[in-house]
Amino acid sequence: MNGRDPHSALKSEVIAKANRASLEAVVARLQWGKDDVGYSLHVNPSSFTSAGIQKTDFLSYLGFKRSDKCGFTSFQRCYLKWVADGFSPDGFLTAFDSAFAHLERAERGLSACGFFLPQPEGWGFHFGKSGGHSHGGPAVLSGDGHTARQTRSMKQTEDDTFLFRFTFVETDHEKGFVTHYRPKHPPLSSELRSVFHYLGLGEFRDCPEFEFEPCFYHTMRFESRGDGIFDSNTEYAHRGFDAHAGQFSTAIRELLATNEDIESFGMTFLPFDKPVERLKVDIEQKIIRPPKPAANTNATPATAEGGVPSNFDVAISVAGPDKQYALKLAEQLRSAGFAVFYYEFYPEYLWGKNLGITFDEIFRKRSRFCVMFVSKEYRDRVWTSHEMRSAQARAVEEKGNEYILPVRIDNTELDGLLPTISYLPIDMGIEKIGDLLIKKLQS
């Protein structure tokens, strides 16, 4: 609103308010002229903790500005932000509480691994003082973490998602510790890449710790205040690396969950594009290539310009308890050179995604065929129902052309899936089903 002060409108009225145990939110309608109207959200956090990230910090992350003179909240001080007409303060507080709980867990895990989230506001708001403190943790190295006079590999570990390596480097001017990160299922989604950027991780194309494959890395400058082992930050650096296997990925998920909760209200603190734009980038540029080209030149191209898939030959929809069938089929198709969407192939890609938008895009727009493993479990689960609705919408658009290819695990019938559609029984065997599907793809 062009830098206007929401507390100095010619006419103002409270149009909605909500309260939680430690949060008060008020939406005000502000008017400066007949057609000159705006809406502001005023939030009063009424409690704080003795340590760690504060709700005041999170409000700052989300773009709220502190005001020490507020006539809309009971505390007479607030954090404020412009919002749209119809904004729900009650829904916002629900999302904020959930998001902040994720953020607290993310901070604890990241801190254990040697990362620090800034605290730009801290406790100052509650005592009528200036903002808090913003620290970036230990000093980092000035170089790229790889080019050095001497490099010593020290440790390695992993979790389900990442490989981690720990090195000590010395240059002519400084020395320090480097943690290297390599996803087990590259490439990263745009969300994960943005989170890494937010945390200050660099990217290196030819990392010798991973046989000259790309890595992400984070550095810590060696600091010594004496000759003893406890007079340097060596023990701290090792402890942070050792925490990665158990806490890093969990903390990243919590950070993504924080953003996901609050994004529905048009707010974000991570450097993300809008959900649809992120999805477009990832599908068109970031999805793993099949390991070899399709055997028949008549098959749907598995790669687009740049050598990466822009569409899938097959999207597989399956309930979790039946996934052993889907995995075997997906591997058979991928080995034959076809671009397959099976959710377990893309764990990093799906991190932080709005899955409703993602799965609708894939099952309704981005696949040549949808293989559906039909069972009671499939019928009764939320996400398979969502995938089925998207696939059915696409089937209608196909105007009679084949799209849904059902595989029957049991005798369950699915609403909206016509009984006249030909099924293949699971008793036929996945390898035989895969052979038939490959022939269809090659036709």
Identity of the amino acid at 426: I
Identity of the amino acid at 45: P
What is the predicted pLDDT for the residue at 55?
A: 95
Helix axes 355-364, 382-397, angle to 10 degrees: 40
**Span 134-171, pLDDT tens digits:** 656 789 999 999 999 999 999 999 998 899 999 999 99
Lowest mean pLDDT among 76-90, 281-295, 387-401: 281-295
What is the predicted pLDDT for the residue at 287?
A: 46
What is the predicted pLDDT for the residue at 192?
A: 86
Report the alpha-carbon distance of residue 442 to residue 365 in Å, rounded. Answer: 20
**Span 226-272, pLDDT tens digits:** 665 567 899 999 999 999 999 999 999 999 889 889 988 989 998 87
Question: Taking the model in full, what pTM does it have?
Answer: 0.73
Q: Which two tokens stand for residue 337?
A: 């050179």
* 86 SS3 class: coil
Report the alpha-carbon distance of residue 324 to residue 313 in Å, rounded. Answer: 20
Rg value, the chain, Cα: 26
Report the alpha-carbon distance of residue 186 to residue 176 in Å, rounded. Answer: 27
Lowest mean pLDDT among 20-24, 270-274, 404-408: 270-274
Identity of the amino acid at 247: Q
Q: What are the two backbone dihedrals, phi and then psi, of residue 88, each rounded to the nearest 5 degrees?
A: -100, 110
End-to-end CA distance of the chain: 58
Report the alpha-carbon distance of residue 55 to residue 92 in Å, rounded. Answer: 14
Average pLDDT score, the chain? 87
Residue ranges of the domains in the chain? 6-127, 150-222, 275-442
What is the predicted pLDDT for the residue at 101?
A: 96
- DSSP result, 213-226: EEEEEEEEE--BSS
Q: 99-118 b/e with 16+ CB inside 10 Å = b?
A: bbebbbbbbebbbbbbbbbb
Report the alpha-carbon distance of residue 39 to residue 22 in Å, rounded. Answer: 23
Q: Which two tokens stand for residue 129?
A: 């003082």
Give whole-number Cα distances, 232 to 116, 138, 227, 237, in Å. 19, 12, 8, 10
What is the predicted pLDDT for the residue at 290?
A: 46
Under CATH, to which class is 275-442 assigned? alpha beta
